[in-house]
Every structure is written in structure tokens, then in C-alpha cells.
Amino acid sequence: MKQFIYMDNAATTRVHPEVLQAMLPYFGEEYGNPSSLYSFANGAKNAIEEARAKIANAIGAQANEIYFTACGTESDNWAVKGCAYANAARGKHIITTAIEHHAILHTMKTLEKEGFEVTYLPVDEYGRIRVEDFQQAIRPDTILVSIMYANNEIGVIEPIAEIGKICREKKIYFHTDAVQAVGHLRIDVKELNVDMLSASAHKFYGPKGVGFLYIRRGVRIQNFMDGGAQERGRRAGTENVAEIVGMGKAIELAYTDFEEKISYISRLRDRLIDGILNTIPFTRLNGPRENRLCNNVNVSFQFIEGESILLMLDLRGIAASSGSACATGSLDPSHVLLGIGLPHEIAHGSIRLSLGEFSTQEEVDAVIAALQEIVPKLRDMSPLYEGVERR
């Protein structure tokens, strides 16, 4: 069989076999509706409450502060819009960053159309916001701050503990999009002074189609869905029982032998970064060396374009993604890569390789070898590379 190497774990992860096993009964014989009164439904009801407790335990929250959603995007929309609307009487100013996921950025654009004012904090060359910039952006009418825990494209970890502390002092609500962080970083919402936190199960070996939003008790926020009494009436709708069970199992597994797994994946990451930077010229790492997600590698190859690299990798059975715009239909490259100050042509030549606990050293070495072959091949074809070797 042709080789297949999955290097896109930041896009989604493979469902862990134990997670799959945990979910199966709830697609089958345990079909009761958790809201039903009779004892047959108790299995489903208990299972989702057990999952809620596991999630709360993993992030240092109380079980009644965890709300199940359909995805990270839903969690982000609920947190930002729900909090903005519920507190609009106090002020209309919101602070976020220029490198958030579109689930946040496009939500902010909607709020701007509705009369809210949004400050987009710039980032430094590694993608980190400056706490001073944040402090200066705070206004008397600032009601909400939303800053991602870790960036999905370049893996930079933001100083959210410092931001959380300031927000708590100033009594401003603080939301963090932790979709890339949950399962990959230790999280304690109390220590971080986070009021709301978004996560998605499929980023930590759980199923697609389920996520959660942590809402600290006492946060003023609108309901997301009106209807029945599910999720304390705030997010009505019959629960996605099997996947909620899967998410609970996945988060429990993610934080089992956590340090060993993270150090294993970090070693693979560093081997991949060094292997690329040390053997292929005109290459740069995007995002920091330290303060970086254990699974993220993002590199720019000068003189060539990202989609071409991805297609060449795909022909060799390697799945990766790019910061190039080409696949998305817009001609502008990623807002994150432009945000860290990369010129357009360098941003266009960037790819993201994201590792996971199922990745191996052999796979990392195979990716390095493939790039050593692909990059010169594309450069030979590139008018931008003409004469560079002779310089």
C-alpha cells in the first residue's frame, strides 16, 4: 500500500480507539433521551453527566460550568455574541487580536455591524500580543476581551494568564478560544482567571461535531438556543449523547500520561523543525521556538508557493495544510502570517505540519526527505529563484 502520513492534526485528529469504543453503546442500545423520566434513559443521562464531570475536572472548573455545544465555532459565537449582547448596556467596546480564528474574527465583524467597537491587538514577529498594548486598549466601556490561548496556524501561545489577571481586576469579561490548547496544554481556568473558554473534541482525539463552552458561574450571558431545559436552558436541544461521551473519554485520555505524550510530540516537532531548517536553504520557522504548541510546525519556503508544496506532498501520501490562500479562493495569504509581518510572497510559500500522539519519528524523517526533494524541484520551476543560486 502507498504510504500515508498524517501531518494535519491541528485540522483534526484521528478518533482514539478507546474513544470510539466508549461511544458505540450510545449509537446502539443506549438510545434513551437523557431528558426522559423513566429508568431506561438513566444510562444516557448518567453518561453525559459523567462526561461533564471529566471535562470540568480537566480544566479546573465545576461541572455546572460546562455547556455542551456542536463545535468550537459555536462555542466562540455563543461566548462572544452572548456576552456582548447581555452586557451592551454597560458598554460597546471589545478587545481581541488580529490573529484569531475566523470563528472569532467574523463574529466580531458581525458585532461591529451592530454598533459594537472592536480593537484588534497587533502581534510581534512571533505572533504574541504585548500586554502593554492590551492595557492601553482598555477603555471604560470595554465589556469583553477575547484572546486565543494558542494560535492554530503558527502554534504561538498567548500570555493569557496575564491578560486574565488584568481583566479580573478591571471587571471585564475574558473569553479564550482554547480550541488548539485543550488536550495539549495544562489548563486551570481559576489560575488563568478565564470567564469563558471554548474547546472542540476533534482536536484532542474525540469525534467531530461536539465541543464545549466553559462559562464561569456568575457571568452575564444570553442563552444560545431557546427551547427545552437541556444545558440549564441556555443551550436547548437534545444532547448529542454518544459524542459527548466520546469527548469526555477523549479529554480524560488526553490528560493521562500527559507529560510523557507532550514531551514525545515536542521531540518530534523539534526534529522536524531542525531537519527542515538545517537541510533546506531559504527556509524560516513561523512562530516562536519556545512558547509553542507541542504539535505545531509552520515553515516558509522562499521562492515557491504553498499549495504546490501541498500537492507534491499529497502525491507522496503526506497530508499537510498551508497558510497560502490559494485553496480558499481569496488571493490574500493567511491573516496570521501577514499579522507577524511576513511579506506576501513569503506568506504564500508557507505550510503547516501538525503532529499528534500517533505520529512517529519515521514519519517525521520521511516528511523531511520528501521536502528535500520537492522544494528544489519547485524552485527550479520558479522565476523568483532564477539566479539566486548563482548569487
Partner 1 sequence: MYSEKVMDHFEHPRNVGELENANGVGTVGNPKCGDIMKMYLDIEDGIIKDVRFKTFGCGAAVATSSMATELIKGLTVEQALKVTNKAVMEALDGLPPAKVHCSVLAEEAIHAAIADYYMRQGMEFESDKLCGGCCKECDCEEEHSHEE
Interface positions with partner 1 (CB under 8 A): 303-308, 311, 315, 324-329, 331, 333, 343-345, 348, 380-384, 386
Distance CA 350, CA 327 (A): 13
**Rounded least distance, CB 367 to partner 1, Å:** 19
* Between 136 and 328, CB nearer to partner 1: 328
> H helices of the chain, where?
17-27, 42-59, 72-86, 102-113, 131-137, 160-170, 189-192, 241-254, 258-279, 306-315, 335-339, 344-348, 361-380
Whole-angstrom Cα distance, residue 291 to residue 276?
20
Distance CA 130, CA 380 (A): 40
Residue 351 near residue 299 (C-beta atoms within 8 A) = yes
Residues in the chain: 391
Q: Smaller CB distance to partner 1: residue 272 or 310?
A: 310
User: Cα separations (Å) of 10 from 155, 181, 284, 356?
Assistant: 9, 10, 20, 9
In whole angstroms, the minimum distance from the beta carbon of 351 to partner 1 comes to: 13
Return phi, psi of residue 121, to 5°. -70, 135
Cell of 351: 505550510
Of 328 and 360, nearer to partner 1 (C-beta) is: 328
First to last CA, the chain: 43
5-6 and 318-319 strand pairing: parallel
Alpha carbons 337 and 359: distance in angstroms, whole number: 26
Of 71, 83, 294, 326, which residue is the catalytic one? 326
Q: How near is the Cβ of 389 to partner 1 at its closest, in Å?
A: 13
Nearer to partner 1, 260 or 386 (CB): 386
Query: Toward partner 1, which CB reaches closer, 23 or 375?
Result: 375
- Least spacing, CB of residue 330 vs partner 1, in Å: 8
Q: Considering the complex, what minimum distance in angstroms separates the CB of residue 379 from partner 1? A: 9
Cβ contact 34:46 at 8 Å: no
Q: Which is nearer to partner 1, 102 or 344 (CB)?
A: 344
Sign of dihedral through CA atoms 204, 160, 262, 354? Answer: positive
CB of 282 to partner 1, least distance (A): 13
Cα 319 to Cα 324: distance, rounded to the nearest angstrom: 15
Residue 114: all three cell numbers together: 451592530
Q: How far is the CB of 306 from partner 1 (least distance, A)?
A: 8
d(CA 391, CA 388): 5
**Long-range interactions of 110-115: CB distance < 8 A, separation 24+:** 110/81, 111/80, 111/81, 111/84
Least Cβ distance, residue 346 to partner 1 (angstroms): 9
Between residues 138 and 311, which has the closer beta carbon with respect to partner 1? Answer: 311
Active site residue 326: yes
**Distance from chain centroid for Cα 43:** 32
Nearer to partner 1, 28 or 387 (CB): 387
Written as nine digits, the cell of 293 is 504548541
Q: Please give the positions annotated as active site.
A: 326
